[in-house]
Amino acid sequence: MTALAHAPLTQLSEEENLFYSTVRQFAGETIGPLVRQMDDEQQFAAGLVEKLFALGLMGIEVPEEMGGAGGTFFDAVLAIEAISTVDPAVAVLVDVHNTLVINAMRRWGTAEQQGAWLPRLAADTPGAYALSEAGSGSDAFALQTRAEATEGGYRLNGRKLWISNAREAGLFMVFATLDPAAGYRGITAFLVEKGTPGFTVGRKEDKMGIRASSTCELIFEDCEVPATTLLGEPGKGYKIAIETLNEGRIGIGAQMLGLAEGAWGHAARYAKERRQFGKPIAEFQAVQFTLAEMATEIEAARLMVYNAARLKDAGQPFVREAAMAKLFTSQVAERVASQCVEIFGGNGFVRDYPAEKYYRDAKVGKIYEGTSNMQLATIAKLVLS
């Protein structure tokens, strides 16, 4: 077992450390043997999602009286980190479901919506967050999906792209505009259940990394939804999106942190096993220094992610820290994964070893839930104001 196999006890309470260790063990024993198969087949193994629910990882912040774990946002971050050490693709499912969908439902859902959906989200129904479109990525509020008021609710028309969890989800948080001329003030959020007439999940993207995680197109063709599916107020969807994504960036930071830890662990073990010139390559100073630099960057990334999550739970301002954590951890994950490939040498470039998957998975950290340039823009605005 390598030195970075567990989060430092000095940063976690006894209860938090036990939770992290439990999830880490589950990931290693249950997810680990399936990683290669799921990456090849581009889908989760049968029964895996049900096991995530059974362990309580899909309702971490849902109150206990609604069937959830009654945990904190920090607990969700720990779970995402622990799973990401083994397979970041599985962590995406847990991350989006907890930090985006459940968080938004708890903050903006009506009592009726929460009563109807939170028990299901904790028990057996994955959620998806549908904001992005072909013409609205970083410019999220340039979306073109329309919502027209009808006598009993709304009619949705349009397409969404790059929606994580789309194949598994039973509930979709969909952002559409009531009035394109109103810009962001027309954006409104809706709760759309899988199987609603006029709503279909389109093709799954063939991705470079996190391949088991489903990323699909959503199609709305005269999709009629009742007024009770409105999440928050009409025209306030932009506020839901901005505030939820601010929190979600900490989740992405946890993904990238866990990925870097997992890659480091494999690199350190391989360096102790691989022999050249009559001794393990871990005895060469160049390899030692590389592993030391990787470990130092991972520790810095961990401190940034944990700090942002602690601030969020404490009700303190955290937007700057969340942007910094996502920016930095995505950089660290890419560097560490790349160095992991190099330590493995030729074996790092082939699919029989784990290094190349971490490298492929790392790249998306700089892209989704706000590109690195968008994080820099946010950081610059806040530090210079």
Query: What are the pLDDT digits (tens) for 19-32?
Result: 999 999 999 999 99
Cα separations (Å) of 15 from 18, 73, 74, 89, 177? 5, 14, 12, 26, 44
Q: What is the residue type of 223?
A: C
- Give the pLDDT of residue 10: 52
In this model, does residue 7 exceed pLDDT 80? no
What Cα–Cα distance (Å) separates residue 294 from each residue in 111, 340, 348? 47, 9, 17
Domains of the chain: which residue ranges? 9-126, 128-236, 239-384
CA distance 233 to 237: 7
Terminal Cα-to-Cα distance of the chain (whole angstroms): 46
What percent of the chain has pLDDT above 90? 93
What is the gyration radius of the CA atoms in the chain, in angstroms? 21
Task: For residue 31, give every residue at least 6 positions away whose Cβ sits within 8 Å of its Cβ, in sequence order, or none.
Answer: 48, 83, 86, 87, 90
Phi-psi bin for 353: left (phi > 0), alpha (psi -120 to 50), beta? beta
Region 195-222: mean pLDDT is 98
Which residue type is seen at 96? V
Q: What is the dihedral of CA 359, 365, 368, 369, to 10 degrees?
A: 160
Cα separation, 126 vs 50, whole angstroms: 10
- Judged against a pLDDT cut of 80, whether residue 42 lies above it is answered with yes
Going by pLDDT thresholds of 50, 70 and 90, the confidence category of residue 137 is: confident
pLDDT band with cut points at 50, 70 and 90 for residue 3: very low
Q: Are 232 and 304 in contact (CB under 8 A)?
A: no
Q: Which residues lie across from 190 on neighbouring strands?
A: 174, 230
Question: Taking the domain 9-126, which CATH number applies?
Answer: 1.10.540.10
Domain 128-236: assigned CATH number:
2.40.110.10
Asked if 9-126 and 128-236 have one fold, the answer is no
Strands (E), 178-309: 187-193, 199-204, 215-226, 230-231, 275-276, 279-280
Which of the 8 DSSP states describes residue 133? B
DSSP code at position 136 = B
Q: The pTM is what? A: 0.95
Taking the CA atoms of residue 284, residue 285, residue 290 and residue 296 in that order, the dihedral angle to the nearest 10 degrees is 130
Tokens 């938090």, located at residue? 16
Percent of the chain with pLDDT over 70: 97
Residue 9: pLDDT band with limits 50, 70, 90: very low
Query: Annotated active-site positions, please?
Result: 369
Residue 293 reports pLDDT greater than 50 = yes
Architecture of domain 239-384: Up-down Bundle (1.20)
- Counting runs of H as helices and runs of E as strands, what totals does the chain give? 12, 10
Q: What is the mean pLDDT of the chain?
A: 95
**Owner of token pair 């599985």:** 90
Instruction: Find all residues with CB under 8 Å of 15, minimum gap 6, and list them.
Output: none
